[in-house]
Amino acid sequence: MVIIVVEITKIKALEILDSRGNPTLMTRVTLSDNTVGIAKVPSGASTGLNEAVELRDGGKRYLGKGVAQAVSNVNTAIAEKMRGANPLSQSNVDKMLLELDPSTGKGKLGANAILSVSMATAVAASNHLKLELFEYLRTKVMSKDAKYLQPVPMCNVINGGAHAGNALAIQEFMILPIGSKNVVEAIQCAAEVYHNLGKGMISKYGRMAKHVGDEGGFCGFGLKTSYDAFNEIVRAIEAAGYAPGKEVVLGIDAAASGFYKDGQYTVDEKAMTPGELIDYYIDIEKTFPLKSVEDPFDENEFGEFAEYLTKTKTQVVTDDLTVSNPEIVKKAIELKSGNSLLLKVNQIGSVSEAIEAAQIAYAANWSVVVSHRSGETGDTFISDLSVALASGQIKTGGLARSERVEKYNRLLEIHSILDGDCGYPGSGFRTAWRNY
Ligand code: PGA
Ligand code: ZN
C-alpha cells in the first residue's frame, strides 16, 4: 500500500499583470503541511503558431486579454481534481492535469492555467522537502545526481522586431560572456558591456537610443541596420575592456517569422530570398564573432533551417519552429533543422513535457537554451530550471527591468548557495551539458 504523507489541499489562482501590463495568472498551491508554492506565468509576443494556447477572455476587459476564465478553471475544475494528489510526483501531477484537458494545445482549460499549477506544485514540493528548486528538479524530478552547471547568460542588449519600435528586423541582439570564470563574473561583464553600449549609443545617436525595449535591451533608436547594431556592440565590448570573440561572443534571435511574407524576408529594408538571407547571415558570421543564431527563417520552413545548418558554424537554435513540443522537436531533429533547442515552459504548458523536450534534444546531441518570454513576471523558475537541466545556456533578457534582472539575481543566489561549487561552461557553452 502506498502511503501518501503529503497532499495538495488547496489551489488558488488570481489574475495579475505581466511586464507589459497584460493579465496573467499567479497560482498558489498549498499542501497538507501548509507548505505553499507560488508560480506566475509568462507570455510571448512573437509567439509560434503551434504553441500551447493561452486562454484569454476576449471582450472589452483588458482589451480582450483578461485571464478570468483561466483563473476560474484553476479554481474550480483543476483545484477539484488535484485536491488530495501527491505533489512529490511531478510526472503524475502533470499527467492528471493533461487528463483534464487532452485537447491539442490545452485550449480547453488554457495552457496558462495548467502551467501555473504544474510549476506551483513543483515549487511547493521543493519547499516541503526543504530543497532548493534547482536541487528538487534535478534530483527528484529528473533523478540525476546533484552535479550542477550554471548557464552562460545570453544577455539581450539591443531589442528589435516585435520587441521595440525601431528599424531593426532582427528581434534580439545578445552577448555571451564566455571568457568569464563563473556566472558572477559573467553577469558583471555583461552589465559593464551593457552600460558602455548605452553610453556609446547616446553619444552617437542621442538620448532616445538608450530607451529599453520589452526585454530590457536598448531600443537602439537611430540604428538603421543589423550591422549598425553589431558595430555598436563590438565597440561596447572593447570599451568595457573585454576581447570580442574571445571573452564575449554574439548571438541573435532573428525571430524571422516577423519579417517573412510571401516567400521573402525583409531585413535592413531589402527583400531577400531564403538563399540571400543565408548569405546575409554568413556574412555577419564572417564579419563579427556571431556564435548563436535563433529562428533564422520562418517557423514553417524546416528545410530552410536545414539548408542553413549545412553552411554555418554557429549554433542554430529553434524556437518558433519547435515550440518546446516533444513531437515537433523530434521532427526538427529528424530533418536536421538545427542543433539547439530554445526551451520555454509556457510554449508546451507543463514542467514534465518541457523536461521531456530537453531530454529529447540532449539525446540527439542538441544543446538547450532555457528561455524567458518577452512578457514576464518576477518568477525565477527558469533560473533554477537551467541549473537543474545543466543546459549551460539561459536567455533572460537585458541587464535592466526587474522581471529580467530577478532571473540573473537568482543565478547569483544559486551560485552563493552552492558556494561557487558549480561549473561554468565558458566557450564550451554548446556542449557543456554532455559532461553533466
Ligand atoms: P517572445 O520572444 O516571448 O515574444 O515569443 C522571445 C523569443 O522569441 O525568444
Ligand atoms: Zn525566439
Average pLDDT for 322-349:
98
Concatenate the DSSP letters of all residues of 166-209 into one string. SS--SSEEEEE-TT-SSHHHHHHHHHHHHHHHHHHHHHHH-GGG
Report whether 172 contacts 292 (CB < 8 A).
no
Check residue 74 and give its pLDDT: 98
Domains, the chain, in order of start with CATH, read 8-130 (3.30.390.10), 152-435 (3.20.20.120)
Residue 344 annotated among the catalytic residues of the structure: yes
The tens digit of pLDDT for each residue in 202-226 reads 999 999 988 999 999 999 889 999 9
Q: What is the pLDDT of residues 67-117, one digit of tens each?
A: 999 999 999 999 999 999 999 999 999 999 999 999 989 999 999 999 999
**Rounded to whole angstroms, how far apart are CA atoms 359 and 133?**
19
What strand order describes the sheet that includes 260-261?
A: 260-261, 264-267, 270-272
Q: How far apart are the CA of 151 and the centre of ligand 2, in A?
A: 18
| Tens-place pLDDT, residues 319-332 | 999 999 999 999 99
Average pLDDT, the chain: 96
Determine if ligand 1 sits within 6 Å of the CB of residue 45: yes
Residue to substitute in 43, 112, 171 for testing ligand 1 pocket (most ligand atoms within 8 angstroms of CB): 171
pTM for the predicted model, two decimal places = 0.97
Which residues fall inside 5 Å of ion ligand 2, going by CB? 253, 255, 319
Residue nearest to atom 1 of ligand 1 (CA): 44
Say which of 344, 353, 356, 403 is annotated catalytic.
344
Q: Are strands 393-395 and 367-371 parallel, antiparallel or unpaired?
A: parallel
CB contact at 8 A, 12 and 79 = yes
Q: In this prediction, what percent of the chain has a pLDDT beyond 70?
A: 99
Q: Cα(214) to centroid of ligand 1, in Å?
A: 10
